[in-house]
Amino acid sequence: MSEPTNAELTEKPVASVSLEKEKVTSGRYSHHVFICGHIRPKGSERDCCTNNGSMDVLREMKTLVRQAGLKNVKIQKAGCLSICGKAITCVVYPEGVWYSLSGNTDELQKIISQHLQGGKPVRELFLEV
C-alpha cells in the first residue's frame, strides 16, 4: 500500500468532520442554532447582541423555523459567544458556522432555506473576525 498524497491527507479532516456530523445529526436535532442573548449594562465598554436586537431575532427565527415545519431544528438563546459588538452573533451546529446578523428577516429566511433545509451555509452572512 502506498503512502497517502498531500491531497489525500488534506481531505482526511473533511471526511472525519462528515462522520462526526452524521453522529451528531443522528440524534433528535439536525441543527442547533444558538443566538447570543447576552445583556450588558448601558455604558459598558463592549456592546452586546441584545442592544442590536438579538432577542427579537431569536423570537423571529423560532417563528420562521416553526412555519417552515422544521421540527428537527432547535433554536436557542446563548450567553456571550465572545465576538461582541459586530451586530448579532449566531452559530449553527453541527457545522460550526458562525453568522453575523443584522436582524433582517431576509437573512433569517436565507439561513433557513439555504443552510438548514438545503445544507449550504450562507457565505455572505459569515461572521468575519
Binding site for ligand FES (CB under 6 A): 36, 38, 48-49, 80-84, 89
Centroid of chain to Cα 123: 11
User: Using CA atoms, how far apart are residues 50 and 72, in angstroms rounded to an integer?
Assistant: 26
Minimal distance, residue 52 CB to ligand FES, in Å: 8
Minimal distance, residue 89 CB to ligand FES, in Å: 4
Select 68 or 78, whichever has its Cβ closest to ligand FES. 78
Minimal distance, residue 107 CB to ligand FES, in Å: 16
Q: What is the spatial order of strands in the sheet that 73-78 belongs to? A: 73-78, 31-36, 88-93, 97-101
Minimal distance, residue 29 CB to ligand FES, in Å: 22
Select 30 or 54, whichever has its Cβ closest to ligand FES. 54
Select 91 or 116, whichever has its Cβ closest to ligand FES. 91
